[in-house]
Structure 1
Amino acid sequence: MITHIVLFKLKDRSPESVAATAQVLRDMEGKIDELLSIEVGTDVVHSERSYDVSLVTKFASLEAMQAYQVHPVHKKVIEHMSVAREAQAVVDYES
């Protein structure tokens, strides 16, 4: 099992922008066969070092995660995030 975690810091950190971006991520659920689970969270602390949105996804294998990366639904999310994000951090690990 592969766990893929991404943290996003947004250019527009307003509650409306954060909620809209979180929904874009949640909308992947049920649309990508390789995506076994998805959890999207929004920051509640709002400190200087906080990121705004987190994405935690799980895949059966590294190959499944790689298929997700090029899936058309995920490609649409990448388009949104490339405009909305200021920064991101990623970690992928076997779980």
Structure 2
Amino acid sequence: MIKHIVCFKLKDNSDENKKETKEILMSMKDKVPMVRDIQVGVDFLKSPRSYDIILQVELDDRDTLDAYQEDPYHAGVVKKHMHEVMESSIAIDYDLD
């Protein structure tokens, strides 16, 4: 299993924008078939070093991670939204073994 984690800092970190973004990220649960598990969290500290939203996705393997990156819903809807609303992001991908 692979864990794919991305933290996003949003241009507009209002509660409304964070809620909408969380819903869009969570929508992959039913629309991206290779996603085995998904969690989305919203930061509550709002410190200067905090990121606003974290996405955690579990996938079968590295080939599945590549397929996930190209999935039409992920690439066409979710990534498009995130590129419009994010200021920056950081990511890590690792084996759960």
Moved over 2 A (4+): none
- Greater helix share, 1 or 2? 2
| Structure 1 residue aligned with 2:41 | 41
Q: Deviation string for 1:4-56 (max 9, x for gaps)?
A: 00000000011001111111100111211211000000001110000000000
- Counterpart AA for 1:69: Q
CA distance in 2 between counterparts of 1:73 and 1:54 reads 19
Partner in structure 1 of residue 93 of structure 2:
92
CA distance in 2, matches of 1:43, 1:9: 10
* Separation in 1, partners of 2:14, 2:70: 30
TM-score, with length taken from structure 2:
0.95
Matches within 5 A, 1:18-33: 18-33=18-33
User: Percent of aligned pairs with the same residue?
Assistant: 39
Q: What is the distance in 1 between the residues matched to 2:18 and 2:64?
A: 28
CA distance in 1, matches of 2:64, 2:37: 12
Task: Give the letter aligned to residue 25 of structure 1.
Answer: L
Give the partner amino acid of 1:16: E
Three-state SS of the structure 1 residue aligned to 2:38 is strand
Once residues 73 and 24 of structure 1 are traced to their aligned partners in structure 2, the CA distance between those partners, rounded to angstroms, is 11
- Return the TM-score normalized by structure 1: 0.97
Find the aligned partners of 1:88 and 1:16 in 2 and give their Cα distance: 19
* RMSD, aligned CA: 0.6
Answering whether residue 56 of structure 2 is matched by residue 77 of structure 1, we say: no
How many residue pairs get matched? Answer: 95
Structure 1 stretches lacking a partner, 5+ long: none
The CA distance in 1 between the partners of 2:87 and 2:27, in whole Å, is 21
